[in-house]
Amino acid sequence: MAEYAAILFSMILVNNFVLVKFLGICPFLGVSKRLDSAAGMGAAVTLVMVLATMVAWPTQQVLNAWGLEYLQTIAFIIVIATLVQLLEMVLKRFLPPLYDSLGVYLPLITTNCAVLGVAILSIDEGYSYLEALVAALGAGLGFLLAMVLFSGVRRRVEEAEPPQVFRGMPITLVAAAIVALSFMGFSGVVDHLFGV
């Protein structure tokens, strides 16, 4: 149990996908202006990450069995694109309320490097199926946490008056740097907590 908790919390805090591994920067900077859209995007990414890992991990086993490991990138991206398309159709048909809140973000997620990243990462780390799913959940929650926190910071930044050349993207990146700095404080915490 402890190792699952260690994987989960290290993915959320220590190896935060956005602030430490730099995966999913585009939505992080693009959709974090308002709290509701930040939370919606975060929830959609979490859902897709877990589903993608659920499908990608067995796919890798099939590739391994046939000695086709080098097709990993192509296979994963096709699997993820198909999955997102299916998810969109299923949500639209059976869960319209959920589709209304998450649907707009789904098409953007196919080309989100965080989703492909978590699928490849759990293979590289040699995780078991369950460990891979926990890692995907942790990565998604970490992304959600970073999005929600940053949308709060962002509101203050929008009201500030930085030097003219810093307006817009540059000051947003500097603010992100400070948020990333605060996440560095977590390194080591998880190792000590769970003694892994």
Partner 1 sequence: MAKRSSSPVAAPAMRKRDTFSAGLLVENPVLRQMLGLCPMLAVSTAVLNGVGMGIATTFVLTCSGIAVSLLRNVIPSSVRIPAFITIIASFVTLVMMAVEAYLPALDEALGIYLPLIVVNCIVLGRAEVFASKHSPGQAAIDGLGMGLGFTGALVVMSAIRELLGAGTLLGVQVLPDFVEPMLVMVTPAGGFAVLGFLIALSVWFEQRSARPAIGDASPADFKAESALEDASESPCASCPMGCQNTGKEA
Interacting residue ranges for partner 1, rule: CB under 8 A = 19-27, 29-31, 33, 37, 41, 70-74, 77-78, 81, 104-105, 107-108, 110-113, 116-117, 120-121, 124, 163-174, 176-178, 180-181, 183-184
DSSP assignment, residue 12?
Answer: I
Task: Give whichever of 5 and 148 is closer to partner 1, judged by the CB atom.
Answer: 148
Q: Are 75 and 59 in contact (CB under 8 A)?
A: yes
Task: Give whichever of 65 and 178 is closer to partner 1, judged by the CB atom.
Answer: 178
Task: Give whichever of 24 and 140 is closer to partner 1, judged by the CB atom.
Answer: 24
CB 145, min distance to partner 1, A: 15
**Closest to 115 in 3D by CA, of 57, 54, 53, 49:** 49
Which tokens belong to 84? 């997102």
**Closest to 125 in 3D by CA, of 191, 60, 192, 45:** 60
The torsion angles phi and psi of 105, rounded to 5 degrees, stand at -85, -20
CB 75, min distance to partner 1, A: 9
Task: Give whichever of 134 and 146 is closer to partner 1, judged by the CB atom.
Answer: 146
**Residue 147 and residue 124: Cα distance in Å, rounded?**
26
CB 88, min distance to partner 1, A: 10
